[in-house]
Amino acid sequence: MNPPDCINQTDRMNPADRVLTEQNFLFRGMDFASVEYMLEHSAIRNLAAGENLLQPDTPNHHLYLILEGKLSVHLAAQETLEHTLLLAEECAGEISLVDGKHPSALVVSTGSTRVLAVPHDTVWSLVDHSHEIARNLLEIIAGRMRHDNMALIASQNKKLQFEHQAYVDALTGIYNRHWMDNAFPRALQRCVLNKLPFAVMVVDIDHFKRVNDTHGHLVGDLALKTVARCMAENLRPHDLLVRYGGEEFAVFLPDADLDEARIIATRLRVVIADTEIRCEDVSFKVTISIGITPAKHEDTLENLIGEADQALYRAKELGRNRVEIFG
């Protein structure tokens, strides 16, 4: 049975359609005249703009050679987005024809399009008859798979880029609070399960508003980046550092008891206090205050951050540039 809106090819093709068919990739590098007679049961299908040629819920029994026009391919799960565009001399339906399954994509005409519908049995007769056609069909399928793989890689890279943008603070390059909400609870749970000590620190740059008011926000941004870099370089590789908000940072210290947490915090405080921040003719230093809360395996991250915040507040009340422990 012919597809709808088809013209039977019981006679030889007209010269124009013969040329268009011969130019298709399927017949590349071979004598088309030697197989032309095998297309007698094929039919030309005229597609209007927006008409579906292939769809995932309908089985396919033809290989469609594009004579004129364009076909837009949309993946089943993303029908609103164009996956690729097929042009004259290309074909559609080859993969579903070979594996016998429903098409994996929606294929739609983008305008007035003409295709030659070659029945399933005719395709296999052509393959049996000609090594060139068999090779060309394999190349078409391989090219389609390569294109799909490249599209998948590009999509995955874009996804990773979006995830990076969602989780990384654009100014300092360290993780942000959104990432912390996912990573810190998992780290806490691992410490609880493995019966390891841990601590949470909240760090704040002292008198940061004064830096912005005195030197401007660009210099203030440089100060933030410098402090973030110093902290990242002087924490242990498995410590988790985030920009908590504004000039405030949060740190999760897995496998660190209170004494080790105090040593780490003191090292950060000293290193940052000794680091000079330079921007053109401006040169200055900043200090930080740190609040620490030690492990409480039965507590939530929210409570631990709150306790570290209280310790930080006490550090500021007692003069800043110091480390305070909650409790």
Report how many helices (DSSP H) and strands (DSSP E) the chain contains, helices first.
9, 17
Q: Contact 35/127 with Cβ under 8 angstroms?
A: no
Laid out side by side, the sheet with 240-245 consists of: 175-176, 240-245, 248-254, 198-205, 288-294, 323-325
Q: Is 301 exposed, middle or buried (0-12, 13-18, 19+ CB in 10 A)?
A: middle
Nearest to residue 258, comparing CAs of 312, 323, 309, 193?
A: 323
Helix, strand and coil content of the chain, in percent to the nearest 5, comes to 45, 25, 30
Q: Is 27 exposed, middle or buried (0-12, 13-18, 19+ CB in 10 A)?
A: buried
Side-chain-side CA neighbours of residue 40 (13 Å): 5
Residue 297 CA to residue 242 CA, distance in Å, equals 21
Side-chain-side CA neighbours of residue 152 (13 Å): 7
CA distances from 14 to 21, 44, 108, 245 (A): 11, 11, 26, 73
Residue 76 CA to residue 84 CA, distance in Å, equals 13
3-class SS of residue 127 = helix
Q: Which residues are catalytic?
A: 247
3-class SS of residue 31 = coil
